[in-house]
Structure formats: structure tokens, C-alpha cells
Amino acid sequence: MQWIRPDIDINFVGMRFKAFVLSSLLILLSLAAMVWRGGLNLGVDFAGGTLVQIQFQRSTSPDEIRNALSDLGFAQSAIQQVGAASDNEYLIRTDLTTSELADLSRRVEESLGKAYGQGQATVRRAEMVGPKVGHDLRQKALFAIYYALLFIAVYVSGRFELKWATSGMMVGVLIIGVYLLEAMGMSVSYLILGALVVTMGFCWVLKLPYALAAVLALVHDVLITVGIFAVTNKEFTLEILAALLTIVGYSLNDTIVVFDRIRENVRKVRKDEFKKLINDSINQTLSRTILTGGTTLLALVFLFLFGGTVIHDFAFAMIIGIVVGTYSSVFVASPLLIFYQDWAGGGAARPRKKPA
């Protein structure tokens, strides 16, 4: 069955200004949500503290749970229901830390047994992360995302501009600079933000439009996904970091497919306007984009609905990332090449030919 005609001709390029306005609004909303919330709702992995997940045999409320555990120092803890209402499962997060998780589970069950009756509450999991470990994990998470984007810029510039040496030197300078500034005690958050800006500046100065477009599209995907977590106030954990890195890889793969078709069309049809070549390339890869994204999304929706509470937020992040990543491959990454050509001068965004 052929769902998309091979001669389809949708004017994606003509919608690029509307798409950029939409993307800008989503990014501004994401940043505003993070500012309004005072940052992301960091899980125990990054914030430090103790996390306990409890399942009750009957319905209850956070206030009842808090009162039942007040003798353990949980009076000021954050309590959130997870999963379906009928599951009666709650996550309890507190700044208190303890090295005896097994003993903590026992004491929690004993305290809840007094208030709810024996066997009415079961500790499903208990996790503890010290504040220093949480701080180190936050820094490593930022570096993981940045270095993923940086080496993606090297790969794309080498594949499409054939500038492996230039991009390699750029990476070397950036890694040394980041290492020195970190050693001098600069805040990692500001350091990574500045390094991203410098990376995109290097891509512009060194005439690496494909790398610049790919990195900007990936930053777009990550910001919007993280922003939705800020809007919904969902916990940002190591599982969500893994989802973000997976989204980066998926979105890049989708973008590379379109870029490859652009390169092929530039070599075959040299006289066509660059805008038309890009629009034709997007249309020619549209079937693959929709089928790949659709099948992946279908699997994630079922994982989200039936995968249980442990995988719930990971699946949620992946669903958002797949939708945003597919959108950015069509409406952000490829049209950015047109903007680069318009600003940098004719022909600058056309891929180089491989040497014979």
C-alpha cells in the first residue's frame, strides 16, 4: 500500500517562516517555564536526598502519608501520586539522607502499618543519593549533552563539507577551553551555555552550514523537550537524560537522511534554485520520515500506556522528542541551510564534491 505518492510536492520551504515563529514561541515558553519554576524539578539522582515509592492497598492522600511518617522526619517531604489513581502509588522525596536503605524501608512500613494497618502499605523502592554525588551527576549530565552535540558537529561537517581537519581542530580548541575554564572554577551551567554559543559561532566562521543547522536543530529539540518537563513539573532524572541523548541520536539520523538527499540532488540538478532543491529533497524523503517516526511513536505510546510507572516518564520524554525531532528535521534543520545561504552569500550551503 502506497501512503504517500512519489510525486508529492508540499511547499515545506514556503512554510519555514511560520515554522520558525512556532519554534521560537515554544523555546521561549520552555525557558519561561524553567524560570517560573525556578529550574527543573530535579529527581534524587541530581538533587540528592532520599526517594521512597510506596503502594497502598486503599486510597489515601499526601497529607495522610506525611502525618503517618512525621516521626521519621518526613514532615516536610514532597509527596506525589504516580501512575493511575487506582494504583494508589506515591513517591516521597526528602532532603534527608540515610545510608541504611533496607532499615529505612522497614521503618517506613512499620510507621505506615501503625496508621493504615499491617500489610496495607508496601515499599516498592528506596533510593538515596548524597548532595555531592547529585552535584557531580548534574555536571556530568550537562557535559554529556554538550559533547554529544559537539562531536555531532564534527561528524556532519566532515560528511557534508569534507572538513574533518578543520572541525577536529575546532573540537580540540573547545575541549581544552572548557577544561581550563572548569578548572578555574567557572559555573558549569554558564560554561556549557557559553561553549554552545562559541561552537555555533565557530561553525558560522568556518563555513560549516550543515553542522550549524544540525546542532541548532538538536538544541531546539532538547530545549523544547526539557521545557515540557518544566511546564508539567515532571521529575528530571537519569532516565530522562538517557531519553534526551536517545532523542538527539534519533533526530540527527532523521536530519542526515534529508541532508543526504539534498547532497544527491545538488550533484544531479545543479541549475535548480537551492530552495527548490531542498523542498524536493524533503518531499522525496517524506515517506521514510513519516513511516519511521510513526512506527517509533506507536511503540512509545504503548510503552507509555502499559509500561508501568518506572518507565512512564522515559516514554513521555521519548514521545515528545520523536514528535519534535521529526518536525525539526523538516521545518528547522533543512530551512536553516536556506537562511545560511541568504546571509552568507550564494552557494555557501552547497555540499562540497568528494575529490576524485
The pLDDT of residue 202 is 87
List Cβ neighbours of 1 (8 Å cut-off, separation of 6 or more).
none
The pLDDT of residue 206 is 86
Cα–Cα dist 299/305, whole Å: 10
Task: Indicate the pTM of the whole model.
Answer: 0.81
Are the beta carbons of 237 and 138 closer than 8 angstroms?
A: no
Instruction: Name the DSSP letter for residue 307.
Output: S
The pLDDT of residue 347 is 47
Cα–Cα dist 55/288, whole Å: 43
The pLDDT of residue 31 is 92
Q: Edge-to-edge strand order for the sheet containing 121-129?
A: 78-82, 89-94, 49-56, 121-129
Cα–Cα dist 177/88, whole Å: 50
- Quick: pLDDT tens for 230-263: 998 888 888 898 899 999 988 898 899 999 988 8
Are the beta carbons of 257 and 289 closer than 8 angstroms?
A: yes
Are the beta carbons of 240 and 304 closer than 8 angstroms?
A: no
Domains observed in the chain: 13-42+133-344 (1.20.1640.10), 49-129 (3.30.70.3400)
The pLDDT of residue 263 is 86
Report the DSSP pairing between strands 235-236 and 41-42.
parallel
Amino acid, res. 186:
M
The pLDDT of residue 116 is 84
Q: Which residues of the chain have pLDDT under 70?
A: 1-7, 75, 96-102, 131, 270-272, 344-356
Cα–Cα dist 137/126, whole Å: 19
Cα–Cα dist 93/76, whole Å: 9
Mapped onto helix, strand or coil, the DSSP state of residue 53 is strand
- Quick: pLDDT tens for 269-285: 766 688 888 998 898 88
**Where do we find the cell 528535521?**
329
Cα–Cα dist 70/342, whole Å: 64
